[in-house]
């Protein structure tokens, strides 16, 4: 069963702004597709993170790990037989 949603509306190429080609959609050319792939592979699309956020996450993870790996008396739990 084939459905047809009508003609495909082409949008501008996200790299250069020219109209996208049907064959390489959403890009207009193989060159623009390669530029986009290079940006992905080189980390060009990575989200920036502040150093402060990373430190808080590390501290929080360290304190959780310490509680899980500590002996019962070190976690604030009573030792057996005492």
Per-domain residue ranges of the chain:
10-46
Q: Looking at residue 13, what is its pLDDT?
A: 95
Distance between CA atoms of residues 61 and 78, nearest Å: 24
Distance between CA atoms of residues 60 and 42, nearest Å: 30
Work out the pLDDT band at 66, boundaries 50, 70, 90. low
Q: Which fold has domain 10-46?
A: Erythroid Transcription Factor GATA-1; Chain A (3.30.50)
pTM for the model = 0.49
Q: Each residue of 18-49: pLDDT tens digit?
A: 999 889 999 999 999 999 999 999 988 888 87
Instruction: Using the structure block, give the residue that is written with the tokens 């049907």.
Output: 22
């Amino acid at each position: 069963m084939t459905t047809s949603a009508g003609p495909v509306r082409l949008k501008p190429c996200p790299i250069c702004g020219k109209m996208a080609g049907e064959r390489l959609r959403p890009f207009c050319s193989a060159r623009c597709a390669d530029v986009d792939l290079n940006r992905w592979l080189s980390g060009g699309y990575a989200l920036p993170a502040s150093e402060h956020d990373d430190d808080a996450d590390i501290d929080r993870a360290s304190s959780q790990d310490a509680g899980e790996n500590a002996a019962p008396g070190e976690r604030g739990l009573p030792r057996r037989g005492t």
